[in-house]
A and B are shown apart, each in its own frame.
Chain A
Amino acid sequence: MNGNSPDGRPRALIVEDEDTLRELIIVTLGEAFDCQEAIDADTALEMLRAAPPDLMLLDIAMPGRSGIDVLREMRADPELQKVPVCVVSAWQSPRDVAAALEAGADRFLAKPFRVDELASVARSLVERRR
């Protein structure tokens, strides 16, 4: 319903401040997803509102507002409530994981993650939604 990209691939929004990791995720998912990128929370929210994607991969610790803030705003917005979110974070204490899931994340991937796991989580989140 959010409209796939012109070539039919689902759209994924990658929110990550670290250039190399953003590139890694895009290269990993690039074949199956039409990837868009944001380097901070505000840019991410702007892009979310402009066109809600089919999946979002979200870092937590970023300059400015955190990924948790993005999650809270999304879950309070009826338009964005249903967008599946996978949090990808280096902060992975039980408290950090609980905070992310409580704020509305669907999955939590800890850094360093396996690229095949990332790909399968992304796929399953999009399929489950359909």
Chain B
Amino acid sequence: MKRFSLVSRVGLLACVVALVVGTIVAAALLAILSLRKSEQSESRAKDVTVATLGVQTLAIEIESSLRGYVISNNHSPRYLTTLHQARGQLPGALSRLDRLVGDDPIQLRRAHDAAGQLQSYLRDYVDNVILIAKISPPDARGAASSDEDKRRTSAIRGTLRSILQTENLRSVRRAVHTRAVSRTAVIIGVVGLAGSAVLVLLFGAWVASGVAAPLRRVAAAATEVTRGDFSVRLDEGGAGEVGTLVSAFNSMARSLEVGRRELLLQNERLRESEQHKRELISMVSHELRTPLSAVLGFTSLLLERDFPPEEQQRYLEIVDTQARRLASLAGDFLDVQLLEGGGFELERAPFDLIELAREQTRLFFSHTELHELVLDLPDEPLIIDGDRDRLAQVVGNLLSNAIKYSPEGGVVRVHVGTQDGRAVFSVSDSGLGIPPEDRDRVFDKFFRGAAKETTVGGTGLGLAVAREIVTTHGGSIAVDSSVGHGSTFTFELPLTLTPAATVSA
């Protein structure tokens, strides 16, 4: 039943109610027709009875006036007048009866019988008795009281009585049938009306259960949505249009929920990026100030005071290193723009990766006494085709991280080699290490992990830039780390030159 749409529910009910009403009307029509027929046949029966009684009256008048005429001694003409009058009326009365029973063969035959009996009575008996009476009254008296008179008149009466009885019987039967038909019509009407009322009530309940209740649930759920609860869902299903409404509501709530989740996520990302920018600005100003202090301080000391040449040399070296640090910071911020703009322009040329490793380690380990450098490099050059400056930036970043994140000092191991036709470069330290939950994020820009809470400086850009450079070269970069034992950063690059070319280089 649940599958019926509302339109088909209403249509179905309309059909059933129409059928019931049609039946009631048909029954009433039948009853009315039957009543009318019954009325007609009753009035015909009445007419036939009246006509028959008329004939009978005439017959009795003829009989009694004949007897009066015969019995009275003076043969009063008064009796004959009455008899003639009655006789004169008889054909009219008979033909009326004939006409009335014309459609009924049995009654017609009886009417004809009665007419024949009357005619033969008048012709063969009445006329003869009058004739006898005129000639010999006593003989006529004998004849009038004879058996023949009785026989003939009782035969006529019998015929007329049978007409009356038949007509009466038919009238009664018709009345009984009519009563039965109207009783049936009344029963059909009452049962039909009651049935229709029950049907309408049932339909109301059906509509209430199939439409009103689900609509109420949809309205309540819509109110929840208005209040901001997009997680509300309705049970799917329901009759036709209601089911469609429920599933449309659910998909609306779903898409609202998804939309809001996306908005919240986007908002969260925007907030995070805003936070990163604020931290970056603060970090930049702090990161710049330390080397700037050294550069400005030592230059003004060198300008104002006289120092022995070896001290002058040392201070100038400090100024040089710190100025480079500033330049590298400026480079990092330029790289942010490159990262945001997407992609680097590489200036590729063949160069020796081993030589690059030696140069960068020399640069980074000249100022630290806490760290011990272990170089694990092959003897032959390892020529690759790439952007030397950019890759130097990557190596420099890994080396400075290795030093920065092992503040207690320790061994920094640099290994370069080949594996599966690719150049592999790794830098291991024995420093703080990276917690597992942060390992996937160290290459995200501005991510600084636990370093944010310490005074280990940095912008959180170095590794993001390094990854961008390595992947633009067609390589990859990864980290392996253990908290408290140190980290190993490894990047690999495709080897683009053959071993023969390597040897000749």
* B297 lies within 8 A of A17 (CB): no
Interface residues on chain B, size class = 20 to 34
CB-CB under 8 A from B315, the residues of chain A are 27
Residues A20 and B454 in contact in the complex (CB < 8 Å), given A61-B286, A90-B286, A115-B301: no
How far, in whole Å, are A54 and B291 apart by their CA atoms in the complex? 28
State how many angstroms separate the Cβ of B51 from the closest Cβ of chain A: 133
Asked if B322 lies at the interface with its beta carbon under 8 angstroms from chain A, I say yes
CB-CB under 8 A from A21, the residues of chain B are 290, 293-294, 297
How far, in whole Å, are A27 and B298 apart by their CA atoms in the complex? 9
State how many angstroms separate the Cβ of B405 from the closest Cβ of chain A: 12
List which B295-316 residues lie within 8 A (CB) of chain A.
295-298, 300-301, 304, 315
Residues A111 and B301 in contact in the complex (CB < 8 Å), given A17-B455, A21-B294: no
Most buried by A among B291, B294, B301, B322: B294
CB contact between B300 and one of A61, A90, A111, A114 (< 8 Å): that residue: A114
Most buried by B among A20, A62, A115, A116: A20
Asked if B134 lies at the interface with its beta carbon under 8 angstroms from chain A, I say no
Asked if A94 lies at the interface with its beta carbon under 8 angstroms from chain B, I say no
State how many angstroms separate the Cβ of A17 from the closest Cβ of chain B: 7
CB-CB under 8 A from B301, the residues of chain A are 24, 27-28, 115
Interface residues on chain A, size class = 20 to 34
* A113 lies within 8 A of B318 (CB): no
* A20 lies within 8 A of B286 (CB): no
Residues A18 and B290 in contact in the complex (CB < 8 Å), given A63-B407, A90-B285: yes
List which A42-75 residues lie within 8 A (CB) of chain B.
61-63
How far, in whole Å, are A37 and B38 apart by their CA atoms in the complex? 138
* A90 lies within 8 A of B289 (CB): yes
List which A97-114 residues lie within 8 A (CB) of chain B.
110-114
Asked if B373 lies at the interface with its beta carbon under 8 angstroms from chain A, I say no
* B297 lies within 8 A of A62 (CB): no
Asked if A23 lies at the interface with its beta carbon under 8 angstroms from chain B, I say yes
Asked if B292 lies at the interface with its beta carbon under 8 angstroms from chain A, I say yes
How far, in whole Å, are A116 and B290 apart by their CA atoms in the complex? 17
Residues A113 and B455 in contact in the complex (CB < 8 Å), given A20-B318, A90-B285, A91-B286: no
CB-CB under 8 A from B296, the residues of chain A are 112, 114-115
By a beta-carbon cutoff of 8 Å, the part of chain A in contact with chain B is 17-18, 20-21, 23-24, 27-28, 61-63, 90-91, 110-116
* The 8 nearest A-B residue pairs measured at CB: A112-B293, A90-B289, A111-B289, A24-B297, A112-B292, A20-B294, A111-B293, A90-B286
